[in-house]
Each structure stands twice: as structure tokens, then as C-alpha cells.
Amino acid sequence: MDWSNKYFLHIYKSRLYDLMNVDSSTNTVNIHHWYREWFKIVQDCFQAQDIVYYQWMGEEYRIVHVSTNHNVSYSMSSQSADALFHYHSLSYNSEIGKDTFAYDIGFKLMKKNSTPLGILFVQGSQISMSQLFESDLLDFALESEQFLKKMNYFYKIVEDEQRYRELYKVTEIFHSTMDIDLLLKQVITTLYRVFPDYSFNLLLSNDHHKHEGLPIKGFEYDTADLAAMQSFVNGTIEIADSTHVEHATLYAPLKGKQGVYGVLEVCSTHSFSYPEYEVEFIRLLAYTAGSALENAKLYQQSKSLITDLQLINEISHKLNSDLRMSETLSYLKVQIDRSFQASAVAFIMINQGEEQVLNESSSFFFSENGNQYIRFVKDRIVNENESLFIGDISTKLEGQIPYFSLMAVPMVQKNLIKGFCIVLQEKPYSFSFDMYKLLQSFIHHSTLALTNSMLREKLEKMVITDHLTSLYARRYLDDEMKKSMKRDDRGSYILMDLDNFKEINDRYGHQVGDEVLIQTARVIQRTVEGKGLPARWGGEEIAVYFPNYSAAESKVIADEIVKRIPKETSPSITVSCGISSWEDHNDINVKSLIRRADSALYVAKNKGRNQVVMQHVETSIK
């Protein structure tokens, strides 16, 4: 074949023309496809084994294509290129690359203003270079330069139009929704439409949502790529340095006015470096997405704050509605469980330096393991007077621990710590800072209600309780007996008197006498606990009423009291008891029941004291 007749060049120009027309007619402009097709045309025209192409990227040449798996250099400096071409556009029979890629001919392609376009190397051509005149090769280079310039120009126009049309559409969507999942999905969808040959990941900071089907990951500060970290911290576009010819990674910050919310990771699936216009589009899309993401987050935060305020208002109303302390704590525990998905909750009161776990707390806090948490929190809160927010407490406690996330808030009233609340979760970092602030509001608003409930119950107890013995007051027992006679089917009443109590006072003094009375009251309380209502009847007399107990049943308890008191008092003393009972609702009268017990007590005294006398049951009490 006579190559001097320009047949080689005609074939080359014809195929380039077909390539441009096919892509422009389908209106699917893809520069990477153009490059791949151009490389095939060059390889076919030279009947070459391999070709390598470097593109000028403003400061150096970077590799775009290697037809086989040669370990050639990722980049080439302008000085290295000048040394190969000796300031001429053709270079013959030389070597490049890490494993000495030997080429037959190299072309240095330039723009008209002497700005480099790229360098094309051909290896193993079955067409001898001697068959082509240098003018033919220069014409080949000229045609290649014109093709690349037209390709880039045409691609830029069409791609600019497509990209900014996509940017306009996605911006409209961004401004029409506050759904974060929809925003992120739209970012990924737009990127895939504009750059089908790239892969993408969204690396989000402080993201606790599951985004099904989307390439979204948490931003790992400890293991993040250096370029990704620089992009996140500085809010700038960064391209990772890589020695791998098939990958280039770009990071664009998702940046709003108040901060950076993550990083868009763009991975090239080929060696093509990112042109300026692609970088600019990615930057604009990332910035727009960052602003929209910020607005959506602020909107959700405002909704969450409104919900929290409504909840706090509801809780405040509920807590200030004269609830009992147990009701207040039970209600507060339900709200904490619901709001924070708590695994365990404790309410601890501090009295004279000692902590008391309230009954409404989770059962875990009544164990030794739970006590370890309580001691740790108490020490920190008492010493620092600050709330605790710990994502992983495993390094601060000993042994196997079942709960890793901890929040604790002190109950402060008039600058005094009355107690504290602990909330635990099984997994580390389960609580957000917003949850921590909400818990602080819960406890702040509930502390006054809890204090009021405690004071109210203390006052109520003082009204119905004898100050010296801590037994019920006589008036309270009278009221309870009247209620029982209307409600129950039967009941029994014991009236007790300390034997020779005057002698105790005369011999040891009234202070010792009071102590003996207190000791006696404690014995009676322990003996009748959960069965009867003990009260100080007056002076050294103590009464116990047993709802739904027969006289025989109450006598068993009275005998136990008479037996225990001499053993558990010092100085030792004895008691005498009189029992009366009722088993009929007809004309029941408290005074008659007391009168009969008093008569039985009189008999016990006369029979020698330190014994129990039981009145017979009357069917009608008048």
C-alpha cells in the first residue's frame, strides 16, 4: 500500500468525522466515550499494539489512557516532555514509564497559542514509520489537534447546557421540600445523570438516619482520607493525590452558611482528571445541596423544638396538678422512656449525704452493678454540680457493664442538690445532644413539683402521725375505723397499756420513759406491718386496728407483741392488751368498739398485767 498518497490520513479524517456526527446526532455527548473511540481509531489507523495518551492539566501532563496494563507514570512534567520532544512535535523510538514503555512515535499536540493539549505515544505499529513522510505525521498531529479542540469545545457547550439545566431543576426541588432523604436522593440522582461514568458517596457528619438504597456513609473523622478531611475542615474542593492510573477522587464540601454538613466523594472510574468545568459544576451542586440540607435540618430542628416545648408544657401542667410523689415519678419515667428510648431510669434522692433509690426507678439500680453507676454519678454531680452526658462510660467503670450511654441531671432546689436522675441506653452514643438538653428541661421543670409533693406528703404525715412515736395519730385511726366499718365485713381492735410506766418515769426520768415508749412503738410497728394500723392513743396507751381480722386472728398478733416487748425494750417493760371486734354492719359504732376493748384491758390489768384479754364478739355495736 502506498502510504505517501495520504490514504492513511484520509481514513483517519473520515473516521473522526463519523465519530463527531454520530455523537452530535444522538444528542448524548460524552467526552469519555469520545476519547475511547478516538483511541480505537488511532490504534486501528496505525495498526498499533498499544497507545498511551497524556492530557495537559495546566501544570503537568496526566495520563488518560493506556491500551494495555503497562506500568507507566501517572503524570509527566513539562520538562520531561520537552526532553523527549526537543521542542519538536514528533519523537521517534524512545522509552517512557516505570517499566520502560518503548514507543515507535510520539506526538506532542498543541493549541494554536502554543498551549499544550496532550501527548500521544504509539507502540508496535505494523506500519513502518519509514512509509510515512514527516509531513504526513505532522498532518496527523494537526488533524488530531483540531479534533480534540472541536471535541472539547462542542462537549463544553452541550455539557454546560445539560449541567445547568440539571442544576436548575435540582435547585427547584431543593427549595420545594424539607425532606432530608429526598434532598440527598436528588443529589445522587442528578450526579448520576450528569456523570454516568463516575461513582459517588455522600459522607455525612452527625447523621443518625438510615438512608436505604443511597450511597451514604458517616464521616469517619479518625480514618477519613486526608483530602476528605481538608475538604470538610476548610470547606474547599480537594482532589486526592493518587499514584493509581485508573482512579482520581474529588471531595466537595456540603457547605451551608452555618457550617459544613458532610463531603461529596466523587470517584473517577478511569484515569481522566477532572476538568475545570466539571469541578465547578460539582462545587455548585454541593454548595446548593449543603444550603438546602442546612435549611432542612434547621426546619426539622425547629419542629423538634416546638414538639419539645409542647411536651415540656404538657409535663409542667401534669406535674403541677397535685399528684402524689409516686404518681409524679411514674409519669416522669413514662415520658423519659418514650422520649429517649431509655433502657434504664433511676430517681435518686440525697438526704444528709446518703443516696436513696426511689421505688419508681428501674430494677437494675437496686443491684450492685447499678449501684456502681449511682456512686459514679453522685461523686461527679456533688463535686461539680453539673449534668453528665457520656457517650461511652465503659472506660470509667469497672467490670462488665450492660449500659454504655449515660445522661444524668441533678435536681436542684434553692441551690441545693436534692437528688438526680440517671438515664441509660445499652449501645454507645445512643443519645444526641438535643436529647440531653431535653432531659435537663424535664428535670428542671419536675424538680419543683417533686419537692412540693415531698413537702405535701411530709406535712400530711405530720398531721396524721404522732411526733414522738411515729405511729398514727388517734384522729386518723378513728377515721380509718369508720371507713372500715362502712367498707369491710369485720374488724378487730386492740388497746394496749404499758404496765407500771409511771415507775419508769419516776425512777429513770421522763427522757428514758419517752425512749421506752418509742422502743415499744417500733416493736408494735414491726409486728403488725402490712396487717394493722397502729396509733398512739394517748399517754402510754397504744391502739391497733385490723380491718377484716377476727378477734381470734388479732389475738395471735397481740400475744406476739406481749411476748416481744419485754425482750426488746430497755429498761424492760410489759404491756397489757384488751381486744374487741365486730362482724355485723348493723348499727356499728366506733365508740362502743373502743369501750369494750377498754373494758377488756381493765380486766387484763386486774388479772396481773402482761397478758391479753379478749371481749366476746357482739353482733350489734351500739
**Residues ≥6 apart with Cβ < 8 Å to 91:** 84, 85, 103, 105, 106, 108
The pLDDT assigned to 190 comes to 78
Task: Name the amino acid, one letter, at 320.
Answer: N
Residue 43 has pLDDT above 50, yes or no: yes
Question: Is 167 part of any domain?
Answer: no
Task: Name the amino acid, one letter, at 190.
Answer: T
Q: Helix, strand, or coil here: 398? A: coil
| DSSP letters spanning 209-225 | ---TTS-EEE--TTT--
Q: Helix, strand, or coil here: 224? A: coil
The pLDDT assigned to 620 comes to 42
The pLDDT assigned to 242 comes to 56
Q: Which of 409, 395, 458 is nearest to 437 (CA)?
A: 409
Question: Is 544 part of any domain?
Answer: yes
Q: Are residues 442 and 585 in the same domain?
A: no
Return d(Cα 332, Cα 443) in angstroms, integer. 9
Return d(Cα 81, Cα 87) in angstroms, integer. 9
Taking each helix axis as running N to C, give the angle between helix 325-340 and helix 433-464, from 0 to 180 degrees, rounded to the nearest 10: 170
Last residue of a domain, one of 246, 265, 299: 299
Highest mean pLDDT among 3-12, 20-29, 47-56, 280-289: 47-56
Question: Is 554 part of any domain?
Answer: yes
Residue 221, C-alpha cell as written in the block: 473523622
Residue 132, C-alpha cell as written in the block: 510515512
**Number of other CB atoms surrounding residue 48 within 10 Å:** 20
Question: Is 62 part of any domain?
Answer: yes
Residue 307 pLDDT level (bands cut at 50, 70, 90): low
Return d(Cα 277, Cα 279) in angstroms, integer. 5
CA distances from 53 to 67, 112, 449, 491 (A): 9, 20, 78, 106
Return d(Cα 372, Cα 405) in angstroms, integer. 15
| DSSP letters spanning 13-75 | HHHHHHHHHHHHHHT---HHHHHHHHHHHHHHHHT-SEEEEEEE-SSSEEEEEESS-----SE
pTM of the model: 0.44
CB 124, CB 50: distance < 8 Å: yes
CATH of the domain at 236: 3.30.450.40
Q: Which of 291, 224, 222 is nearest to 261 (CA)?
A: 291
Question: Is 168 part of any domain?
Answer: no
Q: Are residues 27 and 149 in the same domain?
A: yes
CB 52, CB 72: distance < 8 Å: yes
Q: Are residues 22 and 147 in the same domain?
A: yes
Q: Are residues 541 and 579 in the same domain?
A: yes
Residue 26, C-alpha cell as written in the block: 444522538
Residue with cell 457550617: 259
DSSP secondary structure code for residue 104 in this structure:
E
CATH of the domain at 512: 3.30.70.270
Q: Helix, strand, or coil here: 473? A: coil
Return d(Cα 532, Cα 520) in angstroms, integer. 16
Q: Summarize the confidence of residues 185-203 as an average pLDDT.
A: 79
**pLDDT per residue as tens digits for the range 504-542:** 998 999 999 999 999 999 999 999 998 999 999 888 999
**Residues ≥6 apart with Cβ < 8 Å to 122:** 42, 46, 48, 50, 51, 103, 104, 105, 106, 107
Return d(Cα 86, Cα 83) in angstroms, integer. 5
Residue 284, C-alpha cell as written in the block: 455548585
Last residue of a domain, one of 299, 334, 362: 299
Question: Is 401 part of any domain?
Answer: yes
Q: Are residues 192 and 140 in the same domain?
A: no
Q: Are residues 181 and 216 in the same domain?
A: yes
Q: Are residues 190 and 219 in the same domain?
A: yes
Q: Which of 380, 340, 382, 333 is nearest to 361 (CA)?
A: 333
Between residues 457 and 438, the one the model is more confident about: 438
DSSP secondary structure code for residue 588 in this structure:
-
Q: What element of type H or E holds 160?
A: helix 134-174
Residue with cell 470547606: 235
For residue 128, the enclosing domain spans: 3-157
Q: Are residues 443 and 534 in the same domain?
A: no
List strands edge to edge, sheet with 248-255: 216-218, 198-204, 260-268, 248-255, 238-239
Task: Name the amino acid, one letter, at 121.
Answer: F
CB neighbour class for 242 (10 Å; exposed up to 12, middle 13-18, buried from 19):
middle
CA angle 180, 183, 184 (to 5 degrees): 90
Kindly give the residue spans of alpha helices, DSSP state H, lying in 86-123.
none
Least confident interval from 5-19, 156-170, 231-245, 543-557:
156-170
Residue 449 pLDDT level (bands cut at 50, 70, 90): low
| DSSP letters spanning 288-329 | HHHHHHHHHHHHHHHHHHHHHHHHHHHHHHHHTS---HHHHH
**Residues ≥6 apart with Cβ < 8 Å to 167:** 190, 281, 284, 285, 288
Q: Are residues 135 and 244 in the same domain?
A: no
Q: Are residues 548 and 594 in the same domain?
A: yes
Question: Is 307 part of any domain?
Answer: no
Q: Are residues 32 and 82 in the same domain?
A: yes
Q: How many residues does the chain have?
A: 622
Residue 273 has pLDDT above 70, yes or no: no
Tell me how many domains the chain contains.
4
**pLDDT per residue as tens digits for the range 397-419:** 888 889 999 999 888 877 788 88
Q: Are residues 339 and 284 in the same domain?
A: no
CA distances from 596 to 488, 494, 617 (A): 20, 10, 10
Question: Is 317 part of any domain?
Answer: no
Q: Summarize the confidence of residues 315-332 as an average pLDDT.
A: 67
